[in-house]
Structure 1
């Protein structure tokens, strides 16, 4: 896989990856993470991905000229407890569900670790959905991350359960 800097023209491809991931989650009965609606029609999500491209924190994974993954790094969201030292924060990691199990996520995480090392940063953090059966937390643990703080984000009449995880570089 080749990893390159993302740009505004990549926003539709990233939104398509998110839509595909949501379709996969829905098909597997995992609607708690991102709901059931497409990201490509959600103004908040479109603005978020556009912002990732604009601030230089978006990275695109390609195989054979096709976008198969996206990574965004930058500042943690306001609902995340601040780090006590400089960090690289993974704001988004999404892969093509058609290529599930082919190592795309691992390669993008390794790229984030490389970026941190190049910046002289010793801490990489990420947050994820902590509900359901905890599969996403276990995924990040399998990638060498350790759970740190749990948090919740109010969404309509419920709370979206999240988990911050950290890994040393």
Structure 2
């Protein structure tokens, strides 16, 4: 567990786009070493103009939050509205669009801390529902991780990608007390 006195969560801003890309690049490289290329492929996000633009959009939104140890961003959370490829919620919600952590700090509950922050944001906004989607392929480890964080599987989905294999996804929901 990360010491709560050294880990902080702060709002992100336009200057944080490189930190998002660094976190995504490191996570992708780690996934490749694990043989888990189905989630984000094999190429760094920073080499993909679409992902660079996405990081810029997130950094310029009011939904970016960074987990920081000292001055170093070690995790990123983006909240907003659900993506077009998932079934719409039937009630107001807070949607997690991105959760990524620095693998150099694995095992320190940084992802859990960011999800707890998302729950706090939802409560502040009077919302009882937090949803997220994730890669459901491979051995399903990511889905199981979200379940350990208090989420429940709701809707499976598939993203069709021209010229590439379909991307299996899973929507998960967490009801807030």
Query: Per the shorter chain, which TM-score range?
Result: over 0.9
1:24-74 deviations in whole A, cap 9, x for unaligned?
000000000000000011111111121112221100110011110000000
Q: Secondary structure of 1:21's match?
A: helix
- Counterpart residue number, 2:172: 165
Structure-to-structure mapping, 1:106-117, within 5 angstroms: 106-117=112-123
Q: Is 1:62 aligned with 2:54? A: no
Gaps of 5+ in 1: none
User: Within the alignment, does 1:4 sit opposite 2:10 as a pair?
Assistant: yes
Corresponding residue for residue 30 of structure 1:
36
Matched position secondary structure for 1:69: strand
Among 133, 143, 152, the residue aligned to 2:149: 143
Cα separation, 2, equivalents of 1:29 and 1:103 = 23
Q: In the alignment, does 2:159 pair up with 1:153?
A: yes
**Counterpart of 2:3?**
none
State the alpha-carbon separation in 2 of the partners of residues 25 and 52 from structure 1.
22
User: TM-score with structure 2 length normalisation?
Assistant: 0.94
Equivalent-residue separation in structure 1 for 2:134 and 2:107 (angstroms): 19
CA RMSD of aligned residues (A): 0.7
**Superposition deviation, residue 157 in structure 1:** 3.5
**What is aligned with 2:21?**
15
Contact 2:13 2:61 in 1 (8 A): no
* SS of residue paired to 1:25: helix
Secondary structure of the structure 1 residue equivalent to 2:66: strand
Structure 1 runs, 4 residues or longer, greater than 3 Å off:
none
